[in-house]
């Protein structure tokens, strides 16, 4: 299995531009998570989906951020317009989904991340 795939691996853009990050979860996984990691705030959950439906988006910073999951094998995180303070590493993770006995299945597998720099 290729694991969670994210693209691009690095993105450098100018303030005000639209940024789209992409994620392909592990096949058969029903939950997908978007995280942001910075030195200031550590690892933050932005949003997560189960069976392509957003379950919890309370971590999305503001309206400039949006996420979609049109099908089980693809998700996007979009920032429009981007700002320098959005610079971070964005991780996508997937898991089998809740309901497996005792938590097993809740283990999340992380992608390699997208390092975003907004100038």
Closer CB to another protein, residue 50 or residue 80?
Answer: 50
* CB nearer another protein, residue 8 or residue 18: 8
Quote the least distance from Cβ 46 to another protein, whole Å: 12
**Alpha-carbon span 101 to 39, nearest angstrom:** 35
Of the candidates 60, 111, 116, 118, which one interacts with another protein according to CB under 8 A?
111
The verdict on 47 binding another protein (CB under 8 A) reads no
- Considering beta carbons, is residue 45 or 66 the nearer one to another protein? 45
- Dihedral sign (CA 116, 2, 22, 110): negative
Residue with tokens 């933050």, as numbered in its chain: 44
* Window contacting another protein (CB under 8 A); options: 11-19, 20-28, 42-50, 65-73: 42-50
Do residues 38 and 86 touch, judged by C-beta distance below 8 A? Answer: no
SS3 101: helix
> If binding is defined by CB under 8 A, does position 41 make contact with another protein?
yes
Nearer to another protein, 80 or 112 (CB): 112
77 burial class (0-12, 13-18, 19+ CB within 10 angstroms)?
buried
């Amino acid at each position: 299995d290729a694991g969670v795939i994210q693209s691009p691996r690095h993105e450098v853009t100018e303030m005000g531009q639209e940024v789209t990050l992409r994620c392909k979860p592990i096949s058969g996984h029903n939950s997908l998570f978007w995280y942001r990691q910075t030195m200031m705030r550590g690892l933050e959950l932005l949003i997560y989906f189960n069976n392509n439906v957003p379950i919890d988006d309370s971590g999305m910073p503001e309206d400039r951020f949006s996420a979609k999951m049109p099908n089980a094998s693809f998700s996007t995180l979009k920032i429009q317009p981007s700002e320098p303070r959005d610079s971070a590493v964005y991780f996508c993770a997937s898991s089998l989904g809740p309901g497996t006995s005792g938590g097993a299945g809740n283990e999340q597998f992380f992608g390699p991340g997208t390092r975003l720099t907004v100038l």
